[in-house]
A and B are shown apart, each in its own frame.
Chain A
Amino acid sequence: MTFFKKPKKLITEAKVEHDIQKGLNNKSTVVQNLNLDELLTKVKEPFSATEDLVTQEVELPSDTSRIALLYIESIVDKQLVQSMILDPLFTTGKEITFESFKKMASIDLKQETDFNQVPKFLLQSNTLVFTEDTTCFYTVSTPVKTQRDITEPDNESIVRGAHDGFVENLSTNLALVRKKLRSSKLTIKYLLLGQESHMKLALLYVDQIANPELVKEVEKRVKSIEADAVYAPGNVEESIEDKPFSFFPQILNTERPDRVAANLMEGRVALLYDTSPTAHIMPVNFFTFYQSVDDYNKRWHISSFFRFIRIMGFFIALGLPAIYISIVSFHYEVIPFDLILLIKSSLEDIPYPPLVEALLMELTIEFIREASIRLPARIGSTIAIVGGLVIGDAVVKAGLVSNLMIIVVAVTAIAAYIVPSNEMSAAVRILRFPFMVAAATLGFLGIVFGFLLLLFHLCRLYTFGSPYFAPIAPLNVKDLKDTFLRAPFWKQDTRPQDLNTQKPDNRNHTRKWDKS
Chain B
Amino acid sequence: MKKKLSLLSVLLLLTGCWDQNVLNKTKLITAGGFDYTKDGKIITTASVPEANAMESGKDSIENQIYTATGTTVRQSRFKLDREVSERLDISKNQIIILGEDAAKEDIYQLLDVFYRDPKSALNAKIAVAKGKASDVISKKFEETKKAAGLGEYLRDSILSAEESSAVPRENIQTVCPVMFDPGQDFALPYLEALKRTIHIRGVALFRGQKMVGEIKEPLSVTYTMLTGKKHEIAMNTTKKIYKNKKPARLNYVTIKVKKNKRSFLVDVTPEGKISAKIKLKTKVTITEYPSDNLSTPTEVRNIEKQLSKKLTKDAQTVIDKLQAMNSDPFGVGRQVMAFHYPVWERLNWEEEYPKIDFTASVDVEVIGHGIIE
Within 8 Å CB of A342, what residues of B?
51, 59
Q: Which partner residue on chain B sits nearest A328 by CB separation?
A: B23
Q: In the bound complex, how far is the Cα of B92 from the Cα of A347, in angstroms?
A: 17
Q: Which partner residue on chain B sits nearest A345 by CB separation?
A: B51
Q: How far is the CB of B18 from chain A (nearest CB, A)?
A: 9
Within 8 Å CB of B28, what residues of A?
340-341, 344
Q: How far is the CB of B21 from chain A (nearest CB, A)?
A: 6
Please state if B53 and A345 are interface contacts (CB–CB under 8 Å): yes
Within 8 Å CB of A331, what residues of B?
21
The DSSP consensus for interface residues of chain A is helix
Q: A340, A350, A437: which has the most chain B beta carbons within 10 Å?
A: A340
Interface bin, chain B: 20 to 34
Q: With A328-B22, A333-B91, A333-B119 as known contacts, state yes or no: A441 contacts B51, CB within 8 Å.
A: no
B27-43 to A contact mask, C-beta < 8 Å, 1/0 = 01010000000000000
A244 in the interface, Cβ–Cβ < 8 Å?
no
Q: In the bound complex, how far is the Cα of B51 from the Cα of A441, in angstroms?
A: 28
Q: Which partner residue on chain B sits nearest A440 by CB separation?
A: B17
Q: A329, A346, A353: which has the most chain B beta carbons within 10 Å?
A: A329
Q: How far is the CB of A74 from chain B (nearest CB, A)?
A: 48
Interface residues of B in 1-57 (CB under 8 A from A): 12-13, 15-17, 19-24, 26, 28, 30, 49, 51-53
Q: With A329-B22, A332-B23, A340-B92 as known contacts, state yes or no: A346 contacts B15, CB within 8 Å.
A: no
Q: How far is the CB of A332 from chain B (nearest CB, A)?
A: 4
Q: How far is the CB of B151 from chain A (nearest CB, A)?
A: 8
Q: B15, B17, B23, B53: which has the most chain A beta carbons within 10 Å?
A: B23
Q: In the bound complex, how far is the Cα of B26 from the Cα of A331, in angstroms?
A: 12
Please state if A344 and B51 are interface contacts (CB–CB under 8 Å): yes
Please state if B119 and A354 are interface contacts (CB–CB under 8 Å): no
B276 in the interface, Cβ–Cβ < 8 Å?
no
Q: How far is the CB of B168 from chain A (nearest CB, A)?
A: 22
Within 8 Å CB of A329, what residues of B?
17, 20-23
Please state if A438 and B12 are interface contacts (CB–CB under 8 Å): yes
A337 in the interface, Cβ–Cβ < 8 Å?
yes
Q: How far is the CB of B146 from chain A (nearest CB, A)?
A: 14
Q: How far is the CB of B177 from chain A (nearest CB, A)?
A: 23
Please state if B15 and A341 are interface contacts (CB–CB under 8 Å): no
Q: Which partner residue on chain B sits nearest A331 by CB separation?
A: B21
A426 in the interface, Cβ–Cβ < 8 Å?
no
B149 in the interface, Cβ–Cβ < 8 Å?
yes
Please state if A441 and B59 are interface contacts (CB–CB under 8 Å): no
Please state if B121 and A348 are interface contacts (CB–CB under 8 Å): no
A343 in the interface, Cβ–Cβ < 8 Å?
yes
Within 8 Å CB of B119, what residues of A?
333
Q: In the bound complex, how far is the Cα of B270 from the Cα of A474, in angstroms?
A: 67
Please state if A348 and B92 are interface contacts (CB–CB under 8 Å): no
Please state if A441 and B21 are interface contacts (CB–CB under 8 Å): no
B152 in the interface, Cβ–Cβ < 8 Å?
yes
Q: In the bound complex, how far is the Cα of B12 from the Cα of A348, in angstroms?
A: 27
Within 8 Å CB of A348, what residues of B?
24, 51, 53
Interface residues of B in 50-97 (CB under 8 A from A): 51-53, 59, 61, 91-92, 94
Provide a sorted-by-A list of 25 A–B residue pairs whose CB atoms are within 8 angstroms.
A328-B22, A329-B21, A330-B21, A332-B92, A333-B91, A333-B92, A333-B119, A338-B152, A340-B23, A341-B49, A341-B51, A341-B59, A342-B51, A344-B23, A344-B24, A345-B51, A347-B24, A348-B24, A348-B51, A348-B53, A350-B24, A438-B12, A441-B12, A441-B13, A441-B16
